[in-house]
Amino acid sequence: MALLSLVDSLRQYLETSLSPTPELIGDGYPVAPTELPAVAISISEVTERLRGIGRLPAPTVKGALRVDTTLDLANPVVTFTDEEVRLLSTDRRTVHLAHGPLVRADGTDIQPWSATDIHVAHGSTTFTPVAGAPGADEVQVLPETGELRFASALPETGTLTLGYFVGEWEVRSARYQGVLSLETFAADLAGVNALSRQIDAVLEDPAIPGVHQLSPAAWGPAAVGDETLGNSRRRALTYRFDYELIEPKLATGGGLIARVAVDLSPGPEHVDVTREGS
């Protein structure tokens, strides 16, 4: 998971840094001329150090962490080891979110809230957040308790789609060192040389999340044309890397949240979540 995160981060960085953008960037080789130029990413000789959760080695983080999740209205519960907790009140007008308290996108909890701060939808209906008593198609947000209140009972079936921000969370960290290989592919030697030099330039001081160090290790020769690789020529560039993956962790019924898809764009951190073991 951590190494895949590094590959994805590097791919996104190269896609935005190289001009023109190669036809193919990822962990696969080109197989046709239409996929040239291309960059293949691989990692080897990996060692892992400095692994921990919570305050070892990282402290609890405060800010605005976006969580996107859903609530099954036919079975609105979370399951703990020894009990099952219902998230929807008996009159079906109040939802107790599994994570709380809540904050706005800017990290504050000041009313009023907007669609940027919280998303609540059922089918084609998107509820407008309000501070006071809700009306039709509105939802009252109580950030201190992590509650959502509706004007009328929610349906017995269907899915409530939720997107909101929490203000404090733990992190799990893992640190890796190893060798990163970037193989450049182009139709001719001039193309290989141009792409290789451009990659070497953009990796001189890369803004890649989690990468603490990226040091050149080798610059290979341009190989002869290979028919199985789109009749391309290629060169291998290798770097030694030091990479730290920091994953947000939110405690809820069913265990820690496990799958974390972090949005690398500027602004509040964004994740999609599922429980461990699912």
Q: Give the pLDDT mean for 33-58.
A: 78
Please tell me the predicted confidence (pLDDT) of residue 250: 67
What helix, strand, coil percent values describe the chain, rounded to 5?
A: 15, 45, 40
pLDDT-derived band at 264, boundaries 50, 70, 90:
very low
Distance of alpha carbon 203 from alpha carbon 35, whole angstroms: 23
Please tell me the predicted confidence (pLDDT) of residue 55: 39
Q: Do residues 115 and 138 touch, judged by C-beta distance below 8 A?
A: no
Q: Give the pLDDT mean for 176-185.
A: 96
pTM (global) more than 0.75: no
pLDDT (tens digit per residue) in 191-232: 999 999 999 999 998 989 889 899 999 999 999 999 999 999
Lowest mean pLDDT among 80-84, 184-188, 222-226: 80-84
- Cα torsion 192, 198, 201, 202: sign: negative
SS (H, E, C) 178-235: EEEEEEEEECCHHHHHHHHHHHHHHCCCCCCCCEEEEEEEEECCCCCCEHHHCCEEEE
Burial of 30 (0-12, 13-18, 19+ CB in 10 A): buried
pLDDT-derived band at 251, boundaries 50, 70, 90:
low
Burial 81-112 (b: 16+ CB within 10 A, else e): eeeeeebbbeeebbbbbbbbebbbbeeebeee
Peptide linkage before 57 cis (omega within 30 of 0):
yes
Say yes or no to pLDDT of 90 above 60: yes
Query: Could you tell me which residue, 192 or 64, shows the higher pLDDT?
Result: 192
Say yes or no to pLDDT of 1 above 80: no
Please tell me the predicted confidence (pLDDT) of residue 178: 95
Closest CA to 119 of 163, 150, 159: 163
Q: Give the pLDDT mean for 58-77.
A: 84
- HSE of 86, CA atoms in CB hemisphere, 13 A: 10
CB atoms under 10 Å from CB of 272, counted, come to 15
Say yes or no to pLDDT of 159 above 90: yes
Percentage with pLDDT > 70 across the chain: 84
Residue-averaged pLDDT of the chain: 85
Please tell me the predicted confidence (pLDDT) of residue 247: 72
CB atoms under 10 Å from CB of 135, counted, come to 12
pLDDT (tens digit per residue) in 95-153: 998 877 899 999 998 889 999 999 999 999 999 999 999 999 999 999 998 999 999 99
Query: Could you tell me which residue, 270 or 173, shows the higher pLDDT?
Result: 173
Please tell me the predicted confidence (pLDDT) of residue 81: 65
The distance from CA 145 to its chain's CA centroid, rounded to whole angstroms, is 26
Please tell me the predicted confidence (pLDDT) of residue 255: 35
Peptide linkage before 37 cis (omega within 30 of 0):
yes
Q: Give the pLDDT mean for 80-109.
A: 87
Lowest mean pLDDT among 74-78, 111-115, 247-251: 247-251
| Pairing between β-strand 138-142 and β-strand 128-130 as defined by DSSP bridges | parallel
Look-up of token digits 């001189």: 204
Strands of the sheet containing 128-130, edge to edge, are 94-96, 147-150, 138-142, 128-130
Lowest mean pLDDT among 60-74, 80-94, 106-120, 262-276: 262-276
Domains in the chain: boundaries: 2-35+180-236, 61-171+248-272
Q: Give the pLDDT mean for 53-82.
A: 76
